[in-house]
Amino acid sequence: MSLDIKGLVETSNNLGVIVTDEKNALVTFNCAIRSSIDSQVQYIIKKHEAIANLSGATIVIESIYPGWKYNKNSRLRKLFADTYRQMYDKDMKLEAIHAGLECGIMSKKMPDLDIISFGPNMYDIHTPNEHLSISSTKRTYEYLLKGLENMINIEKY
């Protein structure tokens, strides 16, 4: 769990799929390891490798989700919080979730980049019923435009 944000999962190891192949006497375990801290991903991979070695199994790492560490001093987050207050006359709900693959990819390539993530209301994510609110998509677009406009004054943050 995150030490910075109460209730936020920092590192997880999700067993997503188990495939059995009786003909070849094989069992395959597919896991998704995620963390906002890259070294934690490596730690879990090492644990998987040790278990595989002890049991005579083979381990294959196909891809690694890059981490995206929480920035307590994000000027961009403060600017967009003020933009929200300006547009809707109330404080926005700030929350962190255990996601952000694209943000992790960008922060890996540009480590000093100040990144935030926001978007429309989405429902039944990662299911065949996944959908989003069109009205919240419109609000998100308008919010983005106003936030970009306000970035002229980011120095004050």
pLDDT tens figures, 100-149: 678 888 888 998 999 999 999 999 987 899 999 999 999 999 999 999 99
Residue 46 or 7, more confident: 46
The residue-averaged pLDDT of 21-37 equals: 89
* 35 class by beta-carbon count within 10 Å (0-12 exposed, 13-18 middle, 19+ buried): buried
Nearest in space to 147 (alpha carbons), one of 74, 77, 71: 77
pLDDT for residue 4: 81
| Domain coordinates in residue numbering, the chain | 11-55, 75-156
Q: Give the rounded percent of residues in the chain with a pLDDT score beyond 70.
A: 99
Q: Give the rounded percent of residues in the chain with a pLDDT score beyond 90.
A: 55
The residue-averaged pLDDT of 34-50 equals: 91
pLDDT higher than 80, residue 98: no
Residue 50 or 156, more confident: 50
